[in-house]
Each structure stands twice: as C-alpha cells, then as structure tokens.
Amino acid sequence: MGAGHDTVAAELARRAGGYGHEPYVVDVLTLLPRGLGAGLRGWYQAVVRHAPWVYAGVYDAFLRGGPGGTRPSGVPLARLAGERLLTLVDRVDADVVVSVFHLAAQLTGHLRARGRLRVPSAVYLVDFAVHRQWLHPGNDRYLCLTDAAAREVRGSLGVAAVPTGPAVAPPFSSPAPGAARWRERFTGRAPGRPPVLLSAGAWGAASRPDATAALLAGAGYLPVVLCGRNRRLYDRIGRVPGALALDWVADMPGLLGASYALLDNAAGQTAVQALAAGLPVIGYRPLPGHGLEGVHRMADLGLSALAPDPPGLLKALADLPSCGPARAAQVRALFRADPMAAVAELAERAGPTSS
C-alpha cells in the first residue's frame, strides 16, 4: 500500500546483496487470486484520500491493539495467497522469508504455524505503533523500529523481537549533492523564506493541506507540498499563493537536505528518511488509524514535535532551534543496527545461500 513498503523492501534487498545473499522481492497483493489485491489497493487508496473516517472505523475493528475483545483476523484473507507464496519459495529455493507488510506477516505466520512454510519467517515491522495485524505467533523473529515496539511484540506473542531501527538508504544520511540545486530553486521562488515540506505520501493523502500551506505562507515560510501521484492535489496547491506544489520527487535526499522542517501525517518512510537526513519532523493533522498512532508514538519517543492546531504548528516551527540537540540524540539512538543482519542470521541457519 503506497510506496513506503516498497521502499523498505528495496533497501533490505540491497543490503541482502551486501551479505552475499540473493534477494527476491514480491508484492503479496499480487499473490492474491482474481485481482483481489488490486481491488484492495484501489479501495484503500480511495478511502484514505476521500473518506478517512471509513478507514478509522476499519482500523478500530481490525487493527487496533490493546483490550477490547476479539477482533477479526487477517488470516482468512492472507491465506488466499498461501499456495502462490509456497510455490514461489520452492521455485527460488529461499532460505528465509521477510515480511514488510502486515498482510504478509499474517500469511507467513499462518503457514509457519501449520508447518507448510519450511523456512524461517522474519517480520520487519515498519511502523512505530504496533497494530494487531502485524502480530502472528507463527513467525520466527520480529525486527522493530524501537525498544518499545519490540517489548510490545514480545509481550503479545512471546516470540523473539529485537529493536534494529529503520532501514533507510545511505544517501539520506550523507551530504546530498542535490541539496544545492533545491536551495537555488527555493531561493529563486521565495528569497529568505525557510522551506517547510508537507508530506502527503505517494498517494497525496492529507487533511486540508491547502489550508496548512496558506498558514505557512502567511507566517513567512515557503510551504513545499509533496503531492505524490495525486494530480488533483497538485492543482489545488498550485492555486495557493506563496506555495510550491511538487509531484513525484526522484531526489528526496537532496530535497530533505535543503529544507527547514518536515510536516508529517503518517510516521512512515518519509518521516524516517527525514530523521536520517537530520531534518526536524513535526507531526500535524495525522491520518487516522496507524498514522495517528504512529505520529503520537514518534513524539512520545522524543523523535519529533507534535502540533495540535495551527497556532501550535507555528510555535513548533519557531521552537525548532532550541529543541535540536536533545532531539538529535534521540534520533542517533534510533538508527542502532542493520535489520538485514538479523535476517542474514536466520538465512545462515537455514542453508548456505538465501533468496
């Protein structure tokens, strides 16, 4: 769903090659029969963009953790992809399967618990907030972003769970060559105005981004709205005086390196890329469900600020210089290990090579 899971999978695959293993990446939604995966993706995209309150209800019913009685499981849907996954595992002679999406975690856990998946299963839990559809006791090991997430997994399942931090590509944590070009563009557009990024994800899903852009422009900032692949949003932002609308951006390291702050609504991959780049993150108008919980969890961990309303947003931006040193220490502690090292360990246990 979206581009974040694909980005994580691609980075883990790149790292697998560094350990001498051969990666094979597959989208679990393509393993579902009769176009069900494409339909599910399209429905979710439409709901997140146009009816987020519907997703909030789905999240409460299916995903939210904690007390509240029995909730529906994702296994019945996930197991529809079971035969195709097992066929693929046999065809590529895999030694370990790594899930970076909760439906895949349900599938691998289900197959491992029934003895049908004969190679270890690792789950790389990419969210700061752990929702229940990530959790299945059949999986062998969970790799988590934080200590708190690892403790929650161990407490819920009793399986091995270790904190590794995010998997972010190296260009985000190095000086970005493209940053100078972005700075020139921003200066030419709005001299003296600090550029503030508004992230709407690959699908351009955000709550009132035009109002936020107008607020920032009126306060002396250059709002730069990442519209993803949402052309309607791009056109809307283009009509906001003083705002800069961007569609799909290829040079994210350079853009992050040239910006003053990121306004984040999902605690997803763009947020952790910003942290890796040393860019302050402010949670604002989070998407419902795991976005809301993830944004709050990031702030609770001291990794980001949280702005409850427009005045709070302007205050959070003004306070960034004074909060920098303490927050930087929290961010450094987050990027503690390489999740692929733990995956490679499972692969070595299973056989001499891995796919």
Handedness of CA 349, 74, 144, 267 (dihedral sign): positive
- The pLDDT-based confidence of 330 (bands split at 50, 70, 90) is confident
* pLDDT tier at 237, thresholds 50, 70, 90: very high
The answer to whether 96 and 350 have CB atoms below 8 angstroms apart is: yes
Residue 27: CB atoms within 10 A of its CB come to 15
Residue 259 has φ and ψ, to the nearest 5°, of: -105, 165
Provide the CATH number for the domain around residue 34: 3.40.50
Average pLDDT over residues 21-48: 84
Whether 17 and 90 map to the same domain: the answer is yes
- Residue 62 is given by DSSP the state I
pLDDT reported for residue 73: 67
**Tokens found for residue 345:** 């360990």
Domain count, the chain: 2
Residue 245, helix vs strand vs coil: strand
Distance CA 287, CA 251 (A): 25
247: CATH: 3.40.50.2000
Q: Is 241 exposed, middle or buried (0-12, 13-18, 19+ CB in 10 A)?
A: exposed
Q: pLDDT higher for 322 or 168?
A: 168
Q: Give the separation between CA 105 and CA 207, rounded to whole angstroms.
A: 29
**What is this structure's pTM?**
0.89
Which residue is listed with tokens 């529809």? Answer: 80
Q: Answer yes or no: is 355 within a domain.
A: no
Q: Are 84 and 91 in contact (CB under 8 A)?
A: no
Question: Is position 144 within any domain?
Answer: yes
Residues 86 and 118 in one domain: yes
Check if the beta carbon of residue 263 is closer than 8 Å to that of residue 197: yes
> What's the pLDDT tens digit per position in 136-188?
999 999 999 999 999 999 999 999 999 999 999 999 998 899 999 999 999 99
Q: Which residue is it, tokens 């302007």?
A: 314
Please state, in angstroms and rounded to a whole number, the distance separating the CA atoms of residues 269 and 352: 32
- Statement to judge: residues 12 and 155 lie in one domain: yes
Together in a domain, 97 and 13? yes
Give 200-213 pLDDT, tens digit per residue: 887 777 888 999 99
Note down the domain range covering 190: 172-334
Residues 56 and 289: their CA atoms lie apart, in Å, by 5
| Pair (53, 147) in one structural domain | yes
